[in-house]
Structure 1
Amino acid sequence: MLFRLPSTSRFRLQTCHWLILALMFGLTACDQKSEKAETGSAREGEQALVKVGSISIFESDLALHLKEKGILRADEDIRLEALRQLTSRAQLVQAALDAKLDQDPVVRAEFARILSTQYKEHALFPQLKSIAPPLPEARLRELYQANESRYRSNEKRQAAVLWLNAGKDVNRQKQYEEKLAAAREWFFKNSDLEKHPEQGFSMLGIDYSEHQSSRYKGGIVGWMEREGGMDGWTKAVAEIVFSLKNPGDVSGVIVRDEGVFLVRYLAMEPAVLRPFESVSDELEKAEIKRLRDEAEASFMKALADKYPSQKLSSATQESQ
Structure 2
Amino acid sequence: MTRQVLRPMAMAMRGITPCRVGPCQPGALAAFVLLALLPSCGREESARSGPAPSKPDPKSLFSVGSISVLQSDLDLHLKEKHPGRTGDDSRKQALAELATRAQLAQAALDAGLQDDPVVRSEIARVLGSRLKEIQLSPELKTAAATPSESRLREIYTANESRFRSNEKRQVAVLWLNPNGNPEREKQYVEKLTAARQWYAENSELKSHPDQGFSVLSVDYSEHQASRYKGGVVGWLESGGTMDPWSKAVAEIAFELPAAGGVSEVIHRPEGVFLVRVMAGQPAVLRSFESVADELARNEQQRLRQEAETKFQDTISEKYPVHGLN
Alignment of 1:56-71 (within 5 A): 56-71=68-83
Task: Map residues 139-158 of structure 1 onto 2, 5 A cutoff.
Answer: 139-158=151-170
Task: Say what the alpha-carbon RMSD is for the aligned residues.
Answer: 2.6
Read off the aligned partner of 1:238 and give its amino acid letter.
Answer: A
The verdict on how the C-alpha distance between 1:155 and 1:246 changes in structure 2, with shifts beyond 3 A counting, is closer
Taking the aligned partners of 2:96 and 2:319, their CA distance within structure 1 comes to 43
Question: For the residues of structure 2 that align with 1:146 and 1:52, how far apart are their CA atoms?
Answer: 63
Report the Cα offset of residue 27 of structure 1.
Answer: 8.0
Identify which of 177, 187, 194 aligns with 1:182.
194
Report the equivalent of 1:312: 323
What secondary structure does 1:131 align onto? helix
Q: Does 1:47 align with 2:41?
A: no
Contact 2:179 2:271 in 1 (8 A): yes
* Equivalent residue runs for 1:1-320 within 5 Å: 9-15=3-9, 18=13, 21-24=30-33, 28-30=37-39, 34-35=54-55, 46-48=59-61, 50-305=62-317, 307-312=318-323
Q: CA deviation at 1:78?
A: 3.6
Name the SS of the counterpart of 2:226 in structure 1: coil
CA distance in 1, matches of 2:132, 2:181: 72
Q: 1:249 deviation in Å? A: 1.2
Counterpart residue identity of residue 245, structure 1: P
Letter in 2 for 1:121: E
Deviation at 1:159, TM superposition (A): 0.6
Any conservation in 2 of the 1:193–1:202 contact (CA below 8 Å)? yes
Q: In the alignment, is the contact (CA less than 8 A) between 1:27 and 1:56 conserved in 2?
A: no
Query: CA–CA distance in 2 between the matches of 1:23 and 1:222?
Result: 65
The AA in structure 1 aligned to 2:37 is T
Q: What's the CA shift for 1:103?
A: 1.3
| Residue of structure 1 equivalent to 2:25 | none
Aligned to 2:45: none
Tell me how far apart the structure 1 counterparts of residues 66 and 238 of structure 2 sit (CA, whole Å).
77
Name the TM-score, length of structure 2 as normaliser.
0.82
Q: What SS does structure 2 have at the residue aligned with 1:141?
A: helix
User: Could you say what secondary structure the match of 1:73 adopts?
Assistant: coil
> What is the percent sequence identity of the aligned residues?
53
Change beyond 3 A, Cα 1:131–1:35: farther
Aligned 8 A contact 1:253 1:262 in 2: yes
Q: How high is the TM-score relative to the length of structure 1? A: 0.83
CA shift, 1:152, in A, is 0.7
How far did residue 157 of structure 1 move?
Answer: 0.3
Check 1:148–1:35 CA distance in 2 against 1; reply closer, same or farther (3 A cut). Answer: farther
Amino acid at match of 1:103: D
CA offsets, 1:201-221, max 9 Å, x none?
121112111222322322111
In 2, the alpha carbon distance for the partners of 1:88 and 1:213 equals 79
Name the SS of the counterpart of 1:162 in structure 2. Answer: strand
Amino acid at match of 1:30: P
What is the one-letter code of the residue matched to 2:59?
Answer: E
Letter in 2 for 1:223: W
> Structure 2: which 5+ residue stretches go unaligned?
17-28, 42-52
1:162-192 Cα shifts (integer Å, max 9, x gaps):
1112223332222111111110111112223
Post-superposition CA distance 1:84-133 (Å, at most 9, x none):
23222222211111111111222222212211221222122112212343
CA contact (8 A) 1:16 1:107 kept: no
1:153 Cα deviation from its structure 2 partner: 0.9
Aligned positions, number: 298
Whole-Å separation in 2 of the counterparts to 1:240 and 1:15: 78
Gaps of 5+ in 1: 1-7, 39-44, 315-320
> How far 1:302 sits from its partner (Å)?
3.1
The range that moved more, 276-285 or 146-155, is 276-285
Which region of structure 1 is more displaced relative to structure 2, 238-247 or 146-155? Answer: 238-247
Q: Which amino acid aligns with 2:256?
A: L
Displacement of 1:73 in angstroms is 0.8
Q: Partners of 1:266 and 1:108 in 2: how far apart? A: 70
